[in-house]
Amino acid sequence: MNFLRRPAFLVGLVLVGAVAIAAIAAGWIAPFDPVKNNYRYRLGAPNDLYLLGTDRYGRDVLSRILFGAGVSLRIGLAVAVLSGLAGASIGLISGWWRPADAWLMRVMDGLMAFPGLLLAIALAATLGPSEATAIVALTVAYTPRTARVMRAAVLVARALDYVEAARAVGANTVRILAKHILPACAAPLAVQQTFVFAVAILAEAVLSFVGVGPPPPQPTLGSIIADGRDTLVEAPWIALAPGTVIAMLVLGLNLLGDTLRDALDPRMRGMLR
Amino acid sequence: MLRRRSFTAGLVTAAALPLPAIAQGKKGGDVVVSQQAQPPTLDAQTTSAQATRNISLHMHETLFARDEAGDPKPDLAEGVDISADGLTYKFSLRKGVLFHNGKVMDSTDVKASLERYGKIGTSAFIMKPVAAIETPDANTVVVKLSQVYPGFIEGISSPRAPCAIMTAEDCAKPAGQGGSIGTGPFTLGEFKADSHALLKRFDKYVANPNYKARDGFAGRKTAYFDSVRFRFMPEGGARTAGLQTGELHVLEALDVPAAERLKSDKSIVAYTMMPWAFQTLMMNTNFGLTANVSIRRAIQAALDLEEIMAIATSGLFRLQPAWQHPNTGYFPGTEGLAKYTTQNKDRAKALLKEGGYKGEELVIVADNSFRNHLDTGTVAAEQLRAIGMNVKLSVMDWPTVLNARLRPEGWNLWPLGMGIEPYEGPYGVVGFFAGAAPVQIKPDPVIEQAQLQLTTSLKLADRQAAVKMFQDRVYDQAISIKCGDIGVIQATRSNVANYAPYRIPRMWDCWFA
């Protein structure tokens, strides 16, 4: 499977890569300090000094987006990794040790009964707004889905002939899980976490938009949009530019996830060319 | 009884005279007013929410009400005779005033309303000095005080949480459930949570014959619109769009950038009110860094108030340091205040050193429900970081912040817009820093003394001196920061004739052209 030949993969890679590189290099390429106010130049339209204009505080929107994208990517990645670890562990236990299954899955069902975003907002509001809080809240909200995916994969894998064979020759549980089950489940887990990455970026923007993300003046894509909401007509550039970046990131990650799923799903393999 | 001070209608008609000649109004039409928040209740006595006041002051009236300049004038009362010792207030009531249920208002209703306010009113403290309320006849109410309280008429005339006159039956209802029947020019049609409140013109309304025209919340009120619909719309952009399309006729507040944009729109009229509110930064003198007067003075010196105000108000502000509005009776002047309000970073750093600052955390609690609060907190945080302070800006929703700042510990600075208190006069402002629960948490002996003098002295000059004493103390000890005055823009469609901006969008004495 050659990913690079797939246009969807290439587009996704370019979108996510461009934003990621810009965000990582923000400290060098941002033209201004993202939290520096200049009240004499509030709501300034884009010009050759402020390429994307200024906000209500007179802060440079481009600089804020560069730093804000970093925060969004950081939170998205952390949530994808942490909910991956937590979800994989719960799914593994649940799928392998059957007595634990009913208990763990009922807890997951309980968490899934709340819409993920609502749960995250409630958690973030309770814990107090910060970047760490956003990560914890979104991890709790997205772990159940990952756990379900992992559990299903484990249930399939444990019935595979080579797993049965390993058992028959007396391999211990740790060895079976590490050598046979985990590799068999890696593909669906990777696909799922790519989507969690995308959803978490979007969810972080929502948390920041409703005011329970990282506190001001730290820029995040969602908080920049929230700043621009009141002046959507008078200064559309404030909300439009970070909105575009979020769209790029989420679209890019979904394209990557889709390609990954197509490539890793054996039933889809014949359809790929 | 000696007539020491008499607030009578005869005296005040003169104040109503300078108003422009009254154009002939036209009855009819359904006007739609939009406001940001939904009222927590329509029980006027039991909340100080602006969202309730906007609506309830169309339905309810008070014995005395504030005029255009904010001074108390008789409304449901004909006047009051105050005894020389300041302990007896004899109110004569207007005759023949009708409640919305058709009942004639009499002294038992007034007595019951005042008593209810003393029990469950939001500013129940104004009834605390009341020893007895007597009703010698149907049109006379005598209030006897146990101690001198010169702010009594100011208190019962305040629109903050109005001491609304309700029927005696309605007064028996618990907090939050009374208040559907009043004497005002509009009567309650329908209240739908999260959507709207619909008021209908009360055709049997008995207007005050002692005036010629509308005058603040007092005066002669005439309802022209058939109905007034108050719509609750949290989004500023949606409200502006509604006004542009004509779906809404009146806005309690139009965002400043939107007002700039709509300047040339002939179908919209914007009315700027300055001052509308104080922007303040309250300090906790009981906790951590701000318990130290040198640190508080360092904060005072570090702040660039112009930057704070420009951002927090989108440019609609004035730098006015006094703790009362200019051109009001208790204005203490601004002499000698410049040294406190001018930014001086070097002095701020020196004061930090003097206060022994070693990088401890300064906590600012701000809410994200009101832009001016969040902006003030955010900008102040940056300015304090610039002199080397370790600032934590904690942003929460408004109810959480209100709760957090009541705690004696855990917060240092709290940005607050004070709208109705300075409008009320000195009592709400000085009282905010005094008494059982002062905003700065730790009672200040000089402010307590000022409060005592303000609330018990029968001489106006003494009370004015008390306000000056309060202001000097707040600046000298850096107990709180007054950043400046905020303005507000009310707006109507251009076909709403004879509208005049005020503390609420008044829908009497205006009509569709």
Per-residue pLDDT band for A68 (boundaries 50, 70, 90) equals very high
**B472 and B322 Cβ atoms separated by less than 8 Å:** no
Q: Which residues of A touch B310 (CB under 8 A)?
A: 39-40, 42
Q: Are strands B64-66 and B72-74 parallel, antiparallel or unpaired?
A: antiparallel
| Inter-chain touch B257–A231, beta carbons under 8 Å | yes
Per-residue pLDDT band for A225 (boundaries 50, 70, 90) equals very high
Q: Euclidean distance between the first and final Cα of chain B, in Å?
A: 50
Per-residue pLDDT band for A171 (boundaries 50, 70, 90) equals confident
What is the phi/psi pair of residue A138, to 5°?
Answer: -70, -30
Q: Which of B306, B314, B378 sits opposite A217 (nearest CB)?
A: B378
To the nearest whole percent, how much of chain A has pLDDT over 90?
A: 51
- Mean pLDDT score of chain A: 88
Q: Burial code of B319-345, b = ≥16 C-beta within 10 A, e = fewer? A: ebbbbbbeeeebbbeeeebeebbeeee
Contacts of B318 (CB under 8 A, 6+ apart): B274, B275, B484, B485, B487
Query: CA dist B154 to A51, B71, B91, Å?
Result: 54, 8, 14
Query: What mean pLDDT comes out for the span B260-277?
Result: 95
pTM: 0.85
Task: Residue window 370-429, chain B: list those with CB within 8 Å of chain A.
Answer: 371, 374-375, 378-379, 381-382, 393-397
Query: What mean pLDDT comes out for the span A236-246?
Result: 94
What is the phi/psi pair of residue A80, to 5°?
Answer: -60, -45
Residue-wise pLDDT for B44-102, tens only, equals 999 888 999 999 999 999 999 999 989 999 999 999 999 999 999 999 999 999 999 99
In this predicted structure, what is the pLDDT of residue B212?
92
To the nearest whole percent, how much of chain B has pLDDT over 90?
A: 85
CA distance A73 to chain B (A): 22
Contacts of A38 (CB under 8 A, 6+ apart): A54, A57, A58, A59
Per mean pLDDT, which range of B9-13, B157-161, B178-182 is the poorest? Answer: B9-13
Judged against a pLDDT cut of 50, whether residue A184 lies above it is answered with: yes
- State whether ipTM is beyond 0.95: no
Q: Which residues of B touch A231 (CB under 8 A)?
A: 255, 257-258
**B231 and B249 Cβ atoms separated by less than 8 Å:** no
Judged against a pLDDT cut of 80, whether residue A2 lies above it is answered with: no
In this predicted structure, what is the pLDDT of residue A272?
46
Strand ranges, E, within B184-286: 186-192, 196-201, 214-215, 218-219, 227-232, 250-251, 268-283
Packed helices A131-158 and A116-127: angle between N→C axes, nearest 10 degrees: 140
Rg of chain B on CA atoms, in Å: 23
CB atoms within 10 A of CB B131: 11
In this predicted structure, what is the pLDDT of residue A98?
85
| Inter-chain touch A234–B395, beta carbons under 8 Å | no
In this predicted structure, what is the pLDDT of residue A129?
79
Contacts of A172 (CB under 8 A, 6+ apart): none
Q: Which residues of A touch B311 (CB under 8 A)?
A: 37, 39, 42, 56-58
Q: Are strands B88-93 and B77-82 parallel, antiparallel or unpaired?
A: antiparallel
Three-state SS at B192: strand
In this predicted structure, what is the pLDDT of residue A211?
78
| Inter-chain touch A57–B378, beta carbons under 8 Å | yes
Query: What mean pLDDT comes out for the span B378-396?
Result: 93
Per mean pLDDT, which range of A30-44, B188-202, B216-230 is the poorest? Answer: A30-44
CA A150 to chain centre: 18
What is the phi/psi pair of residue B413, to 5°?
Answer: -125, 145
Residue-wise pLDDT for A114-151, tens only, equals 888 888 888 887 887 788 888 998 999 999 999 999 99
Query: What mean pLDDT comes out for the span B253-267?
Result: 93
In this predicted structure, what is the pLDDT of residue B348?
96
Q: Which residues of B touch A40 (CB under 8 A)?
A: 310
**B271 and B489 Cβ atoms separated by less than 8 Å:** yes
In this predicted structure, what is the pLDDT of residue B14?
40
Sheet with B130-137, side-by-side order of all strands: B5-8, B77-82, B88-93, B140-145, B130-137
Query: What mean pLDDT comes out for the span B336-365?
Result: 94
Judged against a pLDDT cut of 60, whether residue A1 lies above it is answered with: no
DSSP code, position B44: G
CA angle B242, B369, B246 (to 5 degrees): 5
Contacts of A249 (CB under 8 A, 6+ apart): A15, A16, A19, A69, A72, A73, A76, A198, A201
Q: Which amino acid is located at A4 in the chain? A: L
CA distance A214 to chain B (A): 9
CA B26 to chain centre: 31
